[in-house]
Amino acid sequence: MPQPNRPMFTTTADALVIVDFSPRGGRSPRGGRSPRTPGPYRRLLATPGARAFTIGNLLARLPMGMFSVSAVIMIAGTRGSYGLAGAVTATGLAATAVVAPWTARLVDRHGQAKIAVPATALAALGSLALLLCVRLGAPAWTLFLSYAATATTPNLGGMSRARWAHLLAGDEQSLHVANSFEQAVDEACFMLGPVLAAALCASVFPEAGTLVGVALLVTGVLVFTAQRSTEPPVRERAPSEAPFRAPGFRPLLAVCLAMGAVFGSMEVVTIAFADAQGHRSAAGVVLALQAAGSCAAGLVYGARRRTGSIEDRYVWCVAAMTALLTLPLLAASRTGSLFALAAALLVAGMATAPTMVTGMTLVQRRTPPGRLNEGMTLAVTGLLGGIACGSAAGGWTAEHVSPVAGFGVPVTAAAAALMIALVSTRTTTPSPSP
């Protein structure tokens, strides 16, 4: 539910419309209406060139939530094996964790347009090769090879955040709004992408989700990289340490790993719980509510004024996420109701975006100059690794203990993230709040 004085946005392929829910303002002494102060997101997107690259980036990021679901439906539907489908997508995830940091390093060295376009073309060819191999009944090993080629997909969220960091250099409040906006976009894409992919694969043909995803990805990247006026300049290759060796960076990666375990385990456990209730088809909607809560909270968090150091806010956000994650566990164990679980996930998701926004801001501050894309991609790689570990732990617990007990895995992972954050902030010099 939109809050007073909080702007929200909707997007289309050819326009970005800002919908402002703030009051229209009172009457002036002469009977006219007093001028309205633009909301933070309206001001953000009024930055020269911002709307153009944002539209392209939105188009390119929507398929990120489509490809894995499309691949699973396509492979399982034609080969009759969810095990094969899961193994293929897991291979792609592992390949991405290895390749993505190298792609990001090339982006930092040579520029977004020079690297993102060919890297996206190679990833698109991998997706099309997977489609053809499935369609033509090629050997199983070709599926693994084709899907692994999609690992060259550039970190589009990281490139967008790098543009904001370049455009808003020195304006910490506006950068906070930009990071919140980008996190809300992430949540919206991973909320809408799977739904769109499933609908296309079910209502058109099994390969439709992959085809539409490829078209959106390529079109979006071309539109995004065409906006050269907002592209961060390539810096001279001055000596700088790798992000992984920068002070305070490795604890952030450890927290990302633990948070990824939260996301991965929650997804698997929720599906298992819904399946045990006889409503497996509703699991996607239930998980979408968690993303919706995070998206809304991210927008509200970005519009708020900040107080205290960012390290303190980071700890409080992780603590809030840990506390709220006990709600799904309580809902599942006390009520056994999928409806109650959905409501609990909606509330629990509200701590995700603020935590991710604060964490990504710290990643930006602790990444050495000229290696911002690489630093943010390493954080995403940590999340991917955590998702893989969390999925395995959550699945094992749900199968060998119970789906209800499985909800203890994300709580445990969040508690581990909180402990790491607490310890690391004590050994790191706080950054003053602007």
Number of neighbours of residue 415 by Cβ within 10 angstroms: 18
Tell me the residue type at 301: Y
- Asked if 163 contacts 231 with a C-beta cutoff of 8 angstroms, the reply is yes
Question: Do residues 77 and 208 lie in contact, with contact meaning Cβ atoms separated by under 8 Å?
Answer: no
**Integer Cα distance of 12 and 51 in angstroms:** 12
pLDDT score, position 36: 63
Q: Going by DSSP bridges, is the β-strand pair 7-11/16-20 parallel, antiparallel, or unpaired? A: antiparallel
Residues near 218 by Cβ (< 8 Å), separated by ≥ 6? 120, 121, 124
Domains and their CATH numbers in the chain: 1-21+40-234 (1.20.1250.20), 243-434 (1.20.1250.20)
Q: How far apart are CA 201 and CA 210, in angstroms?
A: 8
pLDDT at position 118 is 95
Tens-place pLDDT, residues 65-82? 788 878 877 887 788 776
Q: What is the pLDDT of residue 120?
A: 94
Q: Tell me the sheet residues that pair with 33.
A: 27
For 108, the 3-state DSSP assignment is helix
Q: List C-alpha distances in Å: 183 to 36, 215, 382, 425.
A: 27, 23, 17, 23
pLDDT at 123: 94
Ranges in the chain, pLDDT < 50: 1-29, 432-434
Give the separation between CA 319 and CA 7, rounded to whole angstroms.
27
Number of helices (H), then strands (E), in the chain: 18, 2
The residue among 5, 409, 221, 313 whose CA lies nearest residue 213 is: 221
What is the DSSP secondary-structure string of 173-217? HHHHHHHHHHHHHHHHHHHHHHHHHHHHHHHT-TTHHHHHHHHHH
Distance CA 151, CA 94 (A): 9
Q: Please enumerate in sequence order all residues whose Cβ is within 8 A of that of 30, keeping only pairs 6 or more positions apart, or say none.
A: none
Which string of DSSP letters, residue by residue, matches 137-175? T--HHHHHHHHHGGGG---HHHHHHHHHHHHTTT-HHHH
Tokens 């995803």 correspond to what residue? 213
